[in-house]
Amino acid sequence: PVLLGPEQIRAYQLFLIREKKASWAVFNQTVCALRLLYGTTLKKDWSIKQIPFPKQPKKLPVVLSPSEVHTFLRAIRNIKHRTMFMTMYSAGLRVSELTQLLVTDIDSSRNVIRVRQGKGRADRYVPLFPSLLEALKRYWRHFRPKPWLFPGYSTDQPISRSSVERVCSQIRRKLNLAKPVTPHTFRHAFATHLLEAGTDLRTIQILLGHRSLSTTAIYLHVAVNAQQLTDEAQDLLGSVATKS
């Protein structure tokens, strides 16, 4: 590598794109590694800016309609699994945040869920709506989980991210859905449905735990309408449950 220069590096980048069909994430990671190697480690006298960064593709998230969310949730027969997806949708949680929930994070006296050390190692509170609280109560009476709200095979460990993803994939195949549904799809649906119900973007940013409003603004491109917020529209899971 010490004998190579910008021309050889550009040739390698073209190889990654044309031959290897590397994804944006892989290509971007490679550029970062090359810049570190030649700029910091080898201290080359030519500018590392000659190693260009790729532009990140702008892709809109896949969003389920309220009726599709309802259909998906009804198709889950396992009460634990159904409650997990209800929680992700109703609270807008990342799958990593869902798996780390403790029973004590559910504060029914204040009607909030405490999300501990989410992305960026930041805590936040999200609303605990009545429909989700009832679902959680039914689930707790059946399983009595402790300390993890959704334990794995071993009760002293939380359910794994891969297990949640596997359940999602199974239900998607069961329903023969054309949309590429993943656990994160329910977080997208949470944000989009709130926006369509009239919730302001800043509130959605706080609920999602986004650092930048520009990250949340992507949902402006997928929301089909924007209405004034009503109390009835806030409880997303409750409104979905009525679509039977």
Catalytic residue set: 94, 119, 184, 187, 210, 219
> Rounded CA gap, 170 and 54, in Å?
35
Name the 3-class secondary structure at 113. Answer: strand
Task: State the DSSP H helix or E strand holding residue 112, giving kind and residue range, or none if neither.
Answer: strand 112-115
* 75 DSSP 8-state letter: T
The token duo for 114 is 């405490």
How long is the chain? 244
**Side chain identity at residue 24, one-letter code:** W
Q: Is 121 left (phi over 0), alpha (psi -120 to 50) or beta?
A: left
